[in-house]
Structure 1
């Protein structure tokens, strides 16, 4: 009986120790900037090794106040969560077994074959889309990223916008009204289109045959080699805190070589106005310039191009400056050195070819074959959380500092 009692106590002690195991995560901020709601990553393999997790075990992430922090486990087995770390400071987080709360979705996206193969995605602040093979097959030229602005909510809005725009019954009604009452048909379209603001934002950004809101492209001399719609798409992560998609493009012709294939992985995290994008080019034979570009819709618009500090910005007037659509702030930030950053205006001939756009602001670097080109791009809206160009320039400039000086994460 005593032997059984001691065995029971030993088992209880071991079980209790296993249940009480924790991992302490220290997040350190090397900069003089406060880092709020910034995503950090921890390898799940390291957590598993310390906690000895069973296959069915659940975990929770706690801040210093013992409050649960939303997290996500990504497709490549990283645990991610948003950290808040004061300038030159540290913050402690704890991981242990437990039942996680249900987390609101703050980053997500979807493939829309009914809308010519769009891939569209968003977070709590902003939304984007890129174009696919069905659009290319139609002959429409659209090379760059599109921006969809949002306000008044941190919840997902993109799927509802598509549902409203593409509702078969509404489309049939509009077709029918066009035959007998074009004015009523126009009114119904205006009431259901995502090109009008119905309370949470709209699509009022014009891409056209340009690099749009921050697309990267190889260059041959001063000529941009435009990537024409993705060939295949694979959504890798879909919330609640991170959306990521892998896009593979049709072969490009670079200096007569027709076998260069671009692969992009685009990642948008909750709380960020900027996407992280990692690009590689297979079969490229030599070092080639690569430019990240933002389309200019005014010849004398508000442009900031800072190669030294690694960022570019532009204040876009929207596709209808007279429609009270506010301003769209577009920008890109670079973790590696930028060789050159500048605004380049189109000739009259190219302006006509580019749908009336005036040029690009470009950040140009050298791409080495076999490496990754990583940068960050995105947008904000004057009718949402960032109100003016000065605030946007500060945001993007500080973003560049942050990606050049990432938070450090240690486990104990």
Structure 2
């Protein structure tokens, strides 16, 4: 068991070449227009560049921004909201999402809380950042405004939220997250970001001719491209190609896959069937959110349980957020097992599993599927919430654990049991945790130590969130 891990910078982000120039709205009356050259910008420098050329000129602490065509002149009477973001930790934050109450901003700026009404600007660079507005409850007005930042250790940075109507041209952002219902493949539900992709199974799959499967486990699709691949994968039907940019080499079966759950009675894991209902909360350049509803299932001892699972995925992250709310015919707390599918490691292999009970995380570096590579998976529960780590078949013979698996496999080695993190949750209360995966073929994580370090640092970020302060100006 790990008690202390040393962090290693393993994912420095994707380098981008962008003909991006910088616009910033200030209290100055003057707008200056010049032609700027091409820039090569690291993703670590600032995320979310606008494709619109602009120019930045500093005068003291005020930044004046001009544009090649007509520029923009900010009047002294214009309102803006100052957003002060501070990193309280002694490590860097990369592609970290800042979430703000939209209604407060809209009130201060005298705009409607709606898409396209506001924009966010980095005060130092003058750059318009990628942002997203959405409603956390469909059918209601938007209430979330998010953007992403990169901050050094203990760094404090200032951003301004302004009226988007004051920009000469609305910025266009590249979409880096996506989620959708897939009726053409037995009601799958799939989602992804610029790093990794996942799917879960709908009820149509339970009766699919020759392909029937009853499972609420989470499937993983790996990719070595930053583009979105879900639609392309379903369109081509080539899920298991060895040499493609994306691939399904993670067999779920009836296991928990990568972060699925069940109700644990100390010996057996009681799991639901395939999801019954779905709804999309938002799709956007930074975040996709959706819900899946699971009908009531037998949880043992005369108890039945149903679940609504809300999953969100942010750009730049290898992990998703899961919030599950359970209903039951009994009021007592539920014991839940969150799992990772385990594979045979071969006659001469060893299991590469890391667990940190205090910090609430577990990783599993799967045996290699030659020549397809290695998939690493992980779950991160709230700090101090894990009662113990176990599995749902402790008496599994070594002959199964060390069984030879012919390679390459068609869609990954079959699961042999579930590795479990055991926790408790009250009925009607949210159970929040994270799950995710990586692929060594991307070059971001070439060994288990790097993956463990990333997950350990993710847990540290969970416990030391960014500090955000809003100031009306």
- The equivalent position to 1:154 in structure 2, one of 226, 229, 232, is 226
Unaligned runs of 5+ in 2: 1-73, 137-142, 402-412
- The equivalent position to 1:357 in structure 2, one of 391, 398, 415, is 415
What CA distance in whole angstroms lies between the structure 1 residues aligned with 2:355 and 2:315?
Answer: 26
What CA distance in whole angstroms lies between the structure 1 residues aligned with 2:248 and 2:460?
Answer: 30
- The equivalent position to 2:80 in structure 1, one of 22, 30, 33, is 22
- 1:45 to 2:103 alignment: yes
Q: Which residue of 2 aligns with 1:379?
A: 437
- Alpha-carbon offset, residue 365 of structure 1: 0.9
CA contact (8 A) 1:251 1:258 kept: no
The TM-score with structure 1 as length reference comes to 0.83
What CA distance in whole angstroms lies between the structure 1 residues aligned with 2:414 and 2:119?
Answer: 52
What CA distance in whole angstroms lies between the structure 1 residues aligned with 2:113 and 2:385?
Answer: 45
CA contact (8 A) 2:309 2:324 kept: yes
CA contact (8 A) 2:391 2:417 kept: yes
Higher helix share: 1
CA contact (8 A) 1:149 1:203 kept: yes
Range that drifts further, 263-272 or 280-289: 280-289
CA contact (8 A) 1:120 1:130 kept: yes
What CA distance in whole angstroms lies between the structure 1 residues aligned with 2:206 and 2:419?
Answer: 25
What CA distance in whole angstroms lies between the structure 1 residues aligned with 2:241 and 2:220?
Answer: 14
- The equivalent position to 1:403 in structure 2, one of 462, 468, 471, is 462
- The equivalent position to 1:97 in structure 2, one of 157, 163, 169, is 163
Range that drifts further, 154-163 or 401-410: 401-410
- Alpha-carbon offset, residue 16 of structure 1: 4.2
Runs of 4 or more consecutive aligned structure 1 residues displaced over 3 Å after TM superposition: 15-18, 54-57, 255-259
Q: Which residue of 1 aligns with 2:387?
A: 340
Q: 1:278 to 1:62 in 2, by over 3 A?
A: same
Q: Which residue of 1 aligns with 2:181?
A: 111
- State how many pairs are aligned: 363
Q: Which residue of 2 aligns with 1:315?
A: 365
What CA distance in whole angstroms lies between the structure 1 residues aligned with 2:279 and 2:177?
Answer: 16
CA contact (8 A) 1:232 1:247 kept: yes
- Alpha-carbon offset, residue 136 of structure 1: 2.2
1:393 alignment partner, SS class: helix
- Alpha-carbon offset, residue 341 of structure 1: 4.1
- Alpha-carbon offset, residue 160 of structure 1: 0.8
> What is the correspondence of 1:206-225 to structure 2 with a 5 Å cutoff?
206-225=251-270
State the Cα RMSD in Å. Answer: 2.2
What CA distance in whole angstroms lies between the structure 2 residues aligned with 1:143 and 1:130?
Answer: 7
Q: Which residue of 2 aligns with 1:286?
A: 332
Q: Which residue of 2 aligns with 1:182?
A: none
- Alpha-carbon offset, residue 54 of structure 1: 4.8
Unaligned runs of 5+ in 1: 1-14, 166-192
Q: Which residue of 1 aligns with 2:351?
A: 301
The TM-score with structure 2 as length reference comes to 0.73
What CA distance in whole angstroms lies between the structure 1 residues aligned with 2:427 and 2:396?
Answer: 34
Q: Which residue of 2 aligns with 1:141?
A: 214
What CA distance in whole angstroms lies between the structure 1 residues aligned with 2:97 and 2:126?
Answer: 19
- 1:247 to 2:307 alignment: no
